[in-house]
Structure 1
Amino acid sequence: MGKSNQREKMTSDNETQDRLLAMHHNFELVEDKSPPQGTKLSRFLRANALTLLTVGGVLIGTALGFILRAVKDDWTEREIMYIGFIGEIFLKMLKSLIIPLIIACLVSAICSLDLSLSTRVAARAIGYYLTTTFASVVLGIIVVMSIQPGVGKTVSSSSSTTVTERNTTTTDTLLDLVRNMFPPNLIEATIFQHRTKLTPRNDSDNDTYNFTIDSEIIQTTNILGLVVASAAIGIALAQLGEETRTMANFFHNLLAMMMKITSWVIQLSPLGILFLVCAEILEMENMASVMSGLGLYFVTVLLGLFIQGFIILPLLYFALTRQNPFTFIKHLGTAIVTAFGTASSTATLPITIKCLEEKLGIDPRIARFTLPIGATINMDGTALYEAVAAIFIAQVRGVSLDLGRIIAISITATAASIGAAGIPQAGLVTMVMVLDTVGLPAEDVTLILAVDWLLDRFRTAINVMGDAFGSGVVHYRSQKELNKLKQTARASLTSNDKEHATNEINTNNQDLNV
């Protein structure tokens, strides 16, 4: 009897210490909750209600779009804008969360971790993301070279969309990537990015063209610069410790507030995605005529994405964690469907964080540290698509590809996907750089525009899956350090802190009972 009481007391003390540790580091404990009452079906429906509603939004939006196309052929741009208005507002709400959420996530996570652990976590995350990105490029090259969807095909350019050619080089793009890591103005980085612009000029001496190197501003958030700046702030706060406790608490509180607002916005995802998909269906061209020329290319990209998302990534996850990868995927349903509906991995970031923390039990410090990094540099689907698209266009144009060009495509596609923004159809922007590697003009991007809007949604879903798998792998591989950090923090707690925490918890329990 005495041993039983002793075990109960030790369990109670550990629970108290865990709660105090969570309060000390400003993160929420992921607790095992008792299963809800009711039948198995009702429990499943309650647990997966949002995912099912979001999937329903995609299906209803698709069906509604085709019904409206059957009712009327020539929908005007203004009519489509009216139909997609609710979806547009939902997407804007998600995007409005990105900047404060990324900054708060990274700063809060880094200053809550031991600096040596932060370094190891970052190294594991970056190493994993770069490895899977390069693997997806290689997979894309293998698939497109095996199927050869462009050989003997004649594909017309998209008549409704044009691409403005921008003179650029692979070197300039890579240098721009590094430049954007260190923005000269953090406020400006929330709105703009800088990139190199080459302006042709006539050299009157030899009548040849060379270029003036300028810098142009593009209106999109410099996520990479904000990630680097947030990491620097988090490291500084961690090193200063108690001296900057107030500032650290500000970021912890900001994160808690943003997660609460995120939970509100997530509830709107089924309705928002319904109207986003419906408006996109109304905008598309005649699918039958498009598929006659691009059908095999479409299937090739989908096959590559399927292999990457449901074979390569799960096998890698299983090899590194010895856990069931398909259980992991099942709990990511809401994030995957939202990624498909919004076509933006960055906009899906708040929902991905919620899925990992609440459904998969990933340590909040790991999820909030690795996911913003993944959403910035890890684009498995985009990397695969760019490799497939570049080689497909080369096949259509009859351009032969030797081993050297294929290797150049693999390197360039990897770099281009890292530099791609997490916004809809961002891959088309970096696609120009990959085409330059093959020696093709920028205008050839229009050959694949007719189906790109749909493929963009599939590859974004794979991007989000890759980010989530990376976070899960890093969480598993960091268990030893996390447990050591918890033990060290427990040992540092004073008896007064323990007593205060115990009293506070008992008071809260009494309030709940009342």
Structure 2
Amino acid sequence: ARLATIRSWFENYWRRNGLLTLSILSVIAGCLLGFILRTTQLSALEKQYFSFPGELLMRMLKMLILPLITSSLMSGLATMDSKACGKMGLITITYYLWTTFMAVAVGIMLVIIIHPGLAVQKDNSHRSGKPILSSADALLDLISRNMFPSNLIEASFQQYRTNLIPVVKPFKESQRLSGKPLSFVYVVPDDGDPELVQHVVLAITPSPDMMYKTVPGTNNEMNVLGIVIFSATIGLLLGKMGERGTPLVNVCLCLNEAVMRIVSVAVWYFPFGIVFLIAGKILEMEDPSMIGKKLGLYAVTVVSGLLIHGVILLPSLYLIITRKNPIPYIRGLLEALLIALATSS
């Protein structure tokens, strides 16, 4: 009788938390394996071959993102009532804005308290000549250029990003008398004679004297926002079309069911792939102790912010709004959160 009870308990536990348990063990095993293999001094080619199962996991995840988003949004919104969908959308946007505001406030307070930049030795982007992104351009890229991509096919693998490229101008002493603020002055080799040097001035913020030029660029990541907006719009319109939109809704439903079956099979590869993914990333580190010294305070700031926001603020908000215990809800999310943590996704 005891053996039957233990067996029944184990089967129920495995059915509910088997994948979560395997994922946790995989994260631990990946960390241990990575640090153990660092002592073997593997070559770059051997590290690449060793990381292949982890690379396969990431490719599998990226492969499923596009069909999963499009099919689930189109089929889900097409079968919803338009009034209920509008109310749900308003509640979602309001909730997202308030929780984002809370996250920003927590982040600002932690940065003021901890000062994570004190331990980081990084090049100044203005002095290194790298592209600079202003807040205004970032906002415009988000609300217009990425929400409404000019090419939907391109949005499946690229994001639009506006870069500000510093324009170097010869510095003249008369510029000091013009009353214009100067950020810093340095010397560079003369284009005509490398043995000579010329003074150069570079401004920190864009100014009317064209010290910066705007250059359209791209980021090699999927434009999820644009795909979500397009899929949601198509789904809402299909729901309003009635019988004429039924064939395409059925296609989306069948595609969503097929993708979910692929996901249900693929998730059992996650624990195996996570081991090699984490171990491979640890092997790629040149000096983990130096990285820890440089990014230690930064990591403490990020993890503290996530814990405050995810363990205190969001559960409290859930408790206030729903009057329910947030622990069962969080338990249902642990598997997804752990996979996101292990894959940095």
TM-score of Structure 1 vs Structure 2, range by shorter chain: 0.7 to 0.9
CA displacement, residues 407-451 of structure 1 (integer Å, 9 cap, x when unaligned)? xxxxxxxxxxxxxxxxxxxxxxxxxxxxxxxxxxxxxxxxxxxxx
The counterpart of 2:39, out of the listed 70, 74, 77, is: 70
Q: Secondary structure at the match of 1:195?
A: strand
1:165 has 2:130 as partner: yes
Q: Residue 104 of structure 1 is aligned with which of 59, 71, 77? A: 71
Q: Is residue 2:88 matched to residue 1:129?
A: no
Aligned twin of 2:87: 120
CA contact (8 A) 1:84 1:278 kept: yes
Identify if the C-alpha distance between structure 1 residues 213 and 245 changes in structure 2 by more than 3 Å, giving closer, same or farther: same
Deviation at 1:202, TM superposition (A): 6.6
Distance, in Å, in 1 between the alignment partners of 2:313 and 2:344 is 22
Shift of 1:186: 1.8
Superposed displacement of residue 291, structure 1: 3.4
What is aligned with 2:179? none
Match of 1:45 in 2: 14
Residue number in structure 1 paired with 2:107: 140
Q: Distance in 1 between matches of 2:19 and 2:333?
A: 11
Which residue of structure 2 aligns with residue 184 of structure 1?
Answer: 150
Q: Which residue of 1 aligns with 2:187?
A: none
Q: Does 1:195 align with 2:180?
A: no
- Structure ranking higher on relative contact order (CA contacts 8 Å, 6+ apart): 2
Secondary structure of the 1:267 match is: helix
In structure 2, the CA distance between the partners of 1:165 and 1:214, relative to structure 1 (3 Å rule), is closer
**For 1:182, what is the secondary structure of its paired residue?**
coil
**For the Cα contact (< 8 Å) 2:319–2:326, is it kept in 1?**
yes
Q: Distance in 2 between matches of 1:123 and 1:175?
A: 22
- The offset of 1:80, in angstroms, is 1.8
Question: Which of 330-339 and 101-110 deviates more?
Answer: 330-339
Aligned residue in 2 for 1:243: 244
* Preserved CA contact (<8 Å) 2:130 2:165: no
Residues 194 and 321 (structure 1 numbering): CA distance in 2 closer, same or farther, change over 3 Å? same
Could you give the per-residue CA deviations for residues 282-330 of structure 1, whole angstroms, max 9, x where no partner exists? 1224333443454344323222211111111111111111222122122
- Report deviation, 1:149: 4.8
Q: Aligned equivalents of 2:119 and 2:245: distance in 1?
A: 64
CA contact (8 A) 2:50 2:280 kept: yes
Give the structure 2 partner of residue 340 of structure 1.
Answer: 341
Q: Given residue 19 of structure 2, which amino acid in structure 1 is its aligned partner?
A: L
Distance 1:213 1:294, change over 3 A: closer
Distance in 2 of aligned mates of 1:214 and 1:156:
28
Q: Distance in 2 between matches of 1:193 and 1:136?
A: 24
Q: Provide the C-alpha distance between the structure 1 equivalents of 2:132 and 2:122, rounded to a whole number of angstroms.
A: 20
The C-alpha deviation readout for 1:464-501, integer Å capped at 9, x for no partner, is xxxxxxxxxxxxxxxxxxxxxxxxxxxxxxxxxxxxxx
Cα distance, 1:273 vs structure 2: 0.6
Alignment of 1:390-405 (within 5 A): none
Tell me by how many angstroms 1:247 deviates: 1.1
Give the conservation status (yes or no) of the 8 Å contact 2:119–2:293: no
Flag the 1:287–1:331 CA change in 2: closer, same or farther, 3 A: same
Give the Å deviation of 1:66.
Answer: 1.0
Q: Which amino acid aligns with 2:244?
A: E
Cα drift, residue 242 of structure 1: 0.9
Equivalent-residue separation in structure 2 for 1:201 and 1:139 (angstroms) = 36
> CA 1:77 to 1:111, structure 2 compared with 1: closer, same or farther past 3 Å?
same
Q: Given the superposition, is the C-alpha separation of residues 138 and 154 from structure 1 closer, same or farther in structure 2, using an over 3 Å criterion?
A: closer
Say which SS state the counterpart of residue 164 (structure 2) adopts. Answer: strand
Distance 1:202 1:138 in 2: 37
Cα offset, 1:209, TM superposition: 4.4
Question: 1:175 and 2:144 equivalent?
Answer: no
Question: Hey, what does 2:271 align to over in structure 1?
Answer: 270
Going by fraction, where is helix more abundant, 1 or 2? 1
Looking at structure 2, the residues matched to 261 and 167 of structure 1 have their Cα atoms a distance apart, in angstroms, of 41
Deviation at 1:249, TM superposition (A): 0.8
How large is the RMSD of aligned CA atoms in angstroms? 2.6
Matched residues in 1 for 2:305 and 2:163: separation? 33
Aligned position for 2:27? 58
Kindly tell me: are residues 164 and 306 of structure 1, through their superposed partners in 2, closer, same or farther at Cα, counting changes over 3 Å?
A: farther
Give the SS at the match of 1:167.
Answer: coil
1:196: how far off?
2.2
How far, CA to CA, are the matches of 1:298 and 1:217 in structure 2? 28
How has the CA–CA distance of structure 1 residues 117 and 67 changed in structure 2, closer, same or farther, with 3 Å as cutoff? Answer: same
CA distance in 2, matches of 1:202, 1:291: 36
Q: Which of 35, 55, 78 is the aligned partner of 1:88?
A: 55
Counterpart secondary structure, 2:211: strand
Between stretches 127-136 and 58-67, larger displacement belongs to 127-136
Query: Which secondary structure state, in structure 1, belongs to the residue aligned with residue 217 of structure 2?
Result: strand
* Distance verdict in 2 for CA 1:39–1:137, change over 3 Å: same
Identity of aligned residues (%): 38
Structure 2 unaligned blocks of 5 or more: 176-200, 202-208
- What is the alpha-carbon distance in structure 2 between the residues aligned to residue 82 and residue 170 of structure 1? 41
1:169–1:52 CA distance, 2 compared to 1 (3 A):
same
2:134 partner amino acid: T
Decide which structure has greater strand share. Answer: 2
Contact 1:192-1:218 within 8 A present in 2 as well: yes
How many residues end up aligned between the 2 structures? 301
Greater displacement, 206-215 / 234-243: 206-215
Counterpart of 2:236 in structure 1: which amino acid? I
Tell me, in whole angstroms, the C-alpha distance in 1 between the residues paired with 2:97 and 2:44: 40
Unaligned runs of 5+ in 1: 1-35, 345-514
Letter paired with 1:254: L
Aligned to 2:185: none
In 2: Cα distance, 1:271 partner to 1:247 partner: 37
Cα distance in 2, alignment partners of residues 64 and 49 from structure 1: 22
TM-score, normalised via structure 2 length:
0.79
Distance (whole Å) between structure 1 residues aligned to residue 87 and residue 222 of structure 2: 28
Cα shift at 1:336: 1.4
